A and B are shown apart, each in its own frame.
Chain A
Amino acid sequence: MSTIAEKPKSTAKDFSSDQEIRWCPGCGDYSILKQVQTILPEIGVERQNVVFISGIGCSSRFPYYMNTYGMHSIHGRAPAFASGLKISNPDLSVWVITGDGDALSIGGNHLIHLLRRNFNLNILLFNNEIYGLTKGQYSPTSPEGKVTKSTPMGSIDHPFNPLALAAGADGTFIARAMDRDPVQLRDVLREASEHKGTSLVEIYQNCNVFNDGAFEVFTDKHTKANTTIFVEHGKPMVFGENQNLGLRLDGATPVVVDLEVGEYAVDDLWVHDKTDRFKAGILMRCFETPGADGQGIPRPFGVFYRENRACYEDLLHNQIKTAYERKGEGDLDALLRGNNTWTIE
């Protein structure tokens, strides 16, 4: 019998703050909040070492609901706040909460620079394909033709493919999940938190007030099996109502095959390899919206890509360490003196 009293394990409740949640009833943000609060105790971080940093938007209210350290910053700049925070204290578990407008419109610049620098932190990009907080204008992820308050004749903006964008910025962990599939969302979040480097998780999130049903074709239980595929490392790409469909690579082109016809078997399918940059790129490019009946390439979810690359804060602190080794701890008097003095007596 151990005499040391075990510290009671924290629970999801411990991570929830006493502030009243102000999202609209039915908003997809609730589910994401819940999944995050659920996985944090599982991954074993302590509240005092966790910081949530957000920009501005409905989604960016998130930090107020977490009983951790948090900062609700300014529109689009959360990645830059997080960079400074992470340099200052690399040991913190840092989570950037951002929306499609916040991350990809006003904050697009900071996002790509964060990704290329590969700070060890996690970005949760709540994509509802709309500006929620400003009451329903189209966003950089809204599809062409989208009718919103600011696009009464339909949007003429070509939308971003956020994952391809992240790959273009050499992101080292790129994943997609959705609010309506909590199990998969938790899996992805857990893996994101384990990854050392910048983890970008795009989360499809329903804004039931201004863009209800934007992802319905992927979330509806009648269509979901045929329109989505959850990719897992080392596993063949099977999907469909009865696991009857699969994805094959024909050269560099993905094609859907029917496993029941007899022409192709599971062994012929594309096996997901999240360490393969090129194939992950093809997967990210699967971005057309498939028909509800399973026509076309399904929208992939899961962890697309994962790579180990040095993190900015480690490289910086290594340089600092080297500077200390080479020059010794800075001597303020020597700095004030410089290397050229004269004396007046």
Chain B
Amino acid sequence: MPQRVSESKKEVTILFAGDSGDGIQLTGSQFTNTSALFGNDISTFPSYPAEIRAPQGTIAGVSGFQLNFGSIEIFTPGDRCDVLVVMNAAALKANLDKLKIGGAIIANIAGFDKKNLKLAGYLDQRNPLEDNSLGKYRVIEIDVTKLTRESLKDSSLGMKEKDRSKNMFVLGFLYWMYNRELAMTEKFLKEKFAKSPELIESNMAVLKAGYNYGDTSEMFTTRYEVKPAPMPKGTYRNMMGNQALAIGLIAAAQKADLPLFYGSYPITPASDILHELSRHKNFNVRSFQAEDEIAAITSAIGASFAGNIGMTASSGPGIALKGEALGLACILELPLVVVNVQRGGPSTGLPTKTEQADLMQAFYGRNGEAPIPIIAASSPKDCFDTAFEAVRIAVEHMTPVFLLSDGYIGNGAEPWRLKSAADLPKITAPLIQKPNAGDAFLPYKRNEKGVRPWAVPGIAGLEHRIGGLEKEDITGNVSYDPENHEKMVKLRAEKIDKIALSIPLQEFDNGFATGKLCILSWGSTYGAVKTAVKEMVEEGYSVSHIHLRYIFPFPRNLEQLLSGFDHVMVPELNNGQLVKIVRSEFLIDAKPLNKIKGLPFSSIEIREEAEKYFV
């Protein structure tokens, strides 16, 4: 037995990378589940090739799964990785820049033969594992393919099938490296291959072989220990952003006691919401794959007219198509939830990359004065709460609501502490069952919140016509009267402003209520900003952090909170959008920090910019 040392780590980021066919996603999610069960906090992010069947062995075909786990609270999938697992040369080439100096590369040398080197585009098929170009890193070479085959030499499986389990070898090796048990994966394999015991056996054999390889090989002298994180007590599950969002929509519809209608047209990265909702028809969910995004939103408005909660989701290009209908929903004053899982734009842009550049589109992307409330999710698990809140606002305030997410949190995942149905608040729709003015029904007679009644076809005495033409106040009849138009524009705007009374006051995420610098963030930048601010606060910097869920209307105290600081910095994955709104709304000299690379901020980037305010 070699002499072993155990090194303790607070957090570790691992990136698994390989060909789409290498089982990367599965390896990553198994490691995730095992570590979560062990008690680590964790955050994950998968990346897929843009093409469905990109050529094997090429950079375009590389799939990745990054995970950050720790004995401390984790807020992002990690800036740079400590360990890069590469199944072939292309995976190394595509990801080397994500590895920390001094980080470890675990390379399957079978993926570095001449053919793979050529496909990956290494000049003259020079092998990076052999030419000393990786001197800044610790390279662990393993012939995974050969060792996998060896461990299955007694198996009757064909060579192809044997090779397919090589990801289990890597997983087993990492389990050894991080002192993890195999039990969770064993349970998973038993369920997955319940019908073919042979595959359970072979995968387990390879998994154990990988583990034992670490244990017996003289090469490895260090194992790592990442202790459980101080997570709040409770029962947890892993949640992907889009999944959390879909479940949040269902939960809200259930709490409103109304059917959920979801009209949608497939688009990356929003399609998973459609997939998830389509599976839950027994929750009174009616999902409809429409012929285009216009039909998706208009069918949802038709459904809302009929007393369902109409919802639709898309990404930038699809949201652009929905613009006219959004204006209609706004003037009709019907509930509607519109989700934008943002991606890089303009036009088709970077479909599989993340961006926050559709905020202005949500604010202003319509003709006429058409204010629509906007809320944004900050992390995969936060998609649940924001989805719930979007439905609540839409239904209780009779308005379309924008819910902004993005590809980064939509596809990312993290542990979510279970909520029970009983803990979720009830949502009360302003449904009306009988005339509201003697025998007459006045569809645009408002309550104290400025909200009109929701009268659903099928009720005698409430027959009424609504439409996109300007309406007379109270009666809803068509009116071209100039005074009336101005009045209606203001009434609709006031109704939205009053939503600020039903949302919580803004709180600081970190830092004191006054000081030198306040970082004001929104959406998926939360984790990176939180991590950066946490470090800086611990080091004594006068930095505070406000993260917005409610972007329009703003929480009522936001202006006052911001006024407590010498500087306000607004980091965004766009060319400066929230910062413009904050500047014009509050007349303060808020400064932008922009990144428009299709990639999330690293906490280092936030920190570097923030430090400039202290020189």
Show the binding face of A for B, using Cβ within 8 Å. Answer: 17, 19, 46-53, 56, 63-64, 66-74, 77, 79-89, 91-92, 109-110, 113, 316, 319-320, 323-324, 326-330, 332-333, 335-338, 340-345
Q: Given contacts A48-B462, A63-B465, A80-B302, are A88 and B247 in contact (CB under 8 A)? A: no
Q: Which residues from chain A contact B228 at a C-beta distance below 8 Å? A: 344
Q: Which residues from chain B contact A73 at a C-beta distance below 8 Å? A: 298, 301, 328, 467-468
Q: Which residues from chain B contact A49 at a C-beta distance below 8 Å? A: 457-458
Interface residues of B in 220-250 (CB under 8 A from A): 228, 231-238, 247, 250
Please give the distance in Å from A66's CB to the nearest CB on chain B: 7
Closest to A339 in B: B237
Please give the distance in Å from A52's CB to the nearest CB on chain B: 8
A242-B26 Cα distance, complex, nearest whole Å: 80
A56-B324 Cα distance, complex, nearest whole Å: 13
A335-B463 Cα distance, complex, nearest whole Å: 38
Q: Which residues from chain A contact B259 at a C-beta distance below 8 Å? A: 88
Q: Which residues from chain B contact A74 at a C-beta distance below 8 Å? A: 298, 324-325, 328, 468
Instruction: Indicate whether B281 reaches chain A with its CB closer than 8 angstroms.
Output: yes
Asked if A87 and B458 sit within 8 Å, CB to CB, the answer is: no
A329-B283 Cα distance, complex, nearest whole Å: 7
Q: Which residues from chain A contact B332 at a C-beta distance below 8 Å? A: 71
Asked if B302 and A84 sit within 8 Å, CB to CB, the answer is: yes
Asked if A80 and B295 sit within 8 Å, CB to CB, the answer is: yes
Selected contact of A320 from candidates B232, B281, B294, B300, CB within 8 Å: B281
Query: Interface size bucket, B side?
Result: 35 or more
Listed by A's residue number, 10 A-B pairs whose Cβ atoms lie within 8 Å are A19-B478, A51-B305, A79-B295, A84-B303, A84-B306, A87-B286, A110-B295, A335-B251, A343-B235, A344-B235
Asked if B302 and A83 sit within 8 Å, CB to CB, the answer is: yes
Please give the distance in Å from B208's CB to the nearest CB on chain A: 23
Closest to B188 in A: A340
With A92-B457, A344-B232 already in contact, 12 other A-B pairs whose C-beta atoms are closer than 8 Å: A19-B478, A49-B458, A52-B465, A73-B301, A80-B299, A80-B302, A81-B305, A84-B300, A324-B281, A335-B283, A340-B237, A344-B231
Show the binding face of B for A, using Cβ within 8 Å. Answer: 33, 36-37, 39, 228, 231-238, 247, 250-251, 254, 259, 261, 263, 280-284, 286, 288, 290-292, 294-295, 298-308, 310, 324-325, 328, 332, 418-421, 456-469, 477-478
Asked if A84 and B291 sit within 8 Å, CB to CB, the answer is: no
Closest to B334 in A: A71
Q: Which residues from chain B contact A340 at a C-beta distance below 8 Å? A: 33, 237-238
Task: Enumerate the 4 nearest inter-chain pairs by beta-carbon distance, A residue then B residue, closest first.
Answer: A72-B467, A84-B299, A84-B302, A330-B283
Asked if A320 and B463 sit within 8 Å, CB to CB, the answer is: no
Q: Which residues from chain A contact B290 at a C-beta distance below 8 Å? A: 80, 83, 113
Asked if B458 and A333 sit within 8 Å, CB to CB, the answer is: no
With a 10 A CB-CB cut-off, give which of A51, A80, A343 has the most chain B CB atoms.
A80
Q: Which residues from chain A contact B294 at a C-beta distance below 8 Å? A: 77, 80, 110
A343-B234 Cα distance, complex, nearest whole Å: 6
A344-B282 Cα distance, complex, nearest whole Å: 31
Asked if A330 and B418 sit within 8 Å, CB to CB, the answer is: no
Q: Which residues from chain B contact A341 at a C-beta distance below 8 Å? A: 235-237, 418
Closest to B36 in A: A342
Please give the distance in Å from B300's CB to the nearest CB on chain A: 6
Q: Which residues from chain A contact B459 at a C-beta distance below 8 Å? A: 48
Asked if A344 and B465 sit within 8 Å, CB to CB, the answer is: no
A200-B612 Cα distance, complex, nearest whole Å: 68
Asked if B295 and A83 sit within 8 Å, CB to CB, the answer is: yes
Please give the distance in Å from B249's CB to the nearest CB on chain A: 11
A86-B459 Cα distance, complex, nearest whole Å: 16
A267-B280 Cα distance, complex, nearest whole Å: 59
Please give the distance in Å from B312's CB to the nearest CB on chain A: 10
A80-B299 Cα distance, complex, nearest whole Å: 5
Closest to B464 in A: A69
Q: Which residues from chain B contact A323 at a C-beta distance below 8 Å? A: 281-282
Q: Which residues from chain B contact A332 at a C-beta distance below 8 Å? A: 250-251, 254, 283, 421
Please give the distance in Å from A16's CB to the nearest CB on chain B: 12
Asked if A77 and B457 sit within 8 Å, CB to CB, the answer is: no
Selected contact of A89 from candidates B250, B306, B464, CB within 8 Å: B306
Asked if A72 and B465 sit within 8 Å, CB to CB, the answer is: yes
A285-B468 Cα distance, complex, nearest whole Å: 37
With a 10 A CB-CB cut-off, give which of B228, B232, B237, B459 has the most chain A CB atoms.
B237
A341-B37 Cα distance, complex, nearest whole Å: 8
Asked if B303 and A88 sit within 8 Å, CB to CB, the answer is: yes
A82-B228 Cα distance, complex, nearest whole Å: 54
A82-B300 Cα distance, complex, nearest whole Å: 10
With a 10 A CB-CB cut-off, give which of B232, B419, B461, B465 has the most chain A CB atoms.
B465
Selected contact of B458 from candidates A48, A80, A84, A345, CB within 8 Å: A48
Q: Given contacts A84-B261, A88-B286, are A53 and B328 in contact (CB under 8 A)? A: no
Q: Which residues from chain A contact B247 at a C-beta distance below 8 Å? A: 335-336
A106-B259 Cα distance, complex, nearest whole Å: 31
A126-B598 Cα distance, complex, nearest whole Å: 49
Please give the distance in Å from B292's CB to the nearest CB on chain A: 6
Asked if A70 and B466 sit within 8 Å, CB to CB, the answer is: yes
Asked if A344 and B467 sit within 8 Å, CB to CB, the answer is: no
Asked if A109 and B292 sit within 8 Å, CB to CB, the answer is: yes
Please give the distance in Å from B453's CB to the nearest CB on chain A: 14
Asked if A330 and B284 sit within 8 Å, CB to CB, the answer is: yes
Q: Given contacts A48-B459, A83-B288, are A71 and B298 in contact (CB under 8 A)? A: no
Q: Which residues from chain B contact A67 at a C-beta distance below 8 Å? A: 463
Closest to B325 in A: A74
Asked if B286 and A77 sit within 8 Å, CB to CB, the answer is: no
Selected contact of A110 from candidates B234, B291, B469, CB within 8 Å: B291
Please give the distance in Å from B34's CB to the nearest CB on chain A: 10
Please give the distance in Å from B245's CB to the nearest CB on chain A: 13
A323-B281 Cα distance, complex, nearest whole Å: 6
Closest to B246 in A: A335
Asked if A88 and B306 sit within 8 Å, CB to CB, the answer is: yes
Asked if B302 and A82 sit within 8 Å, CB to CB, the answer is: yes
Q: Which residues from chain A contact B299 at a C-beta distance below 8 Å? A: 80-81, 83-84, 87
Q: Given contacts A72-B466, A80-B290, A316-B286, are A335 and B280 in contact (CB under 8 A)? A: yes
Asked if B233 and A345 sit within 8 Å, CB to CB, the answer is: yes
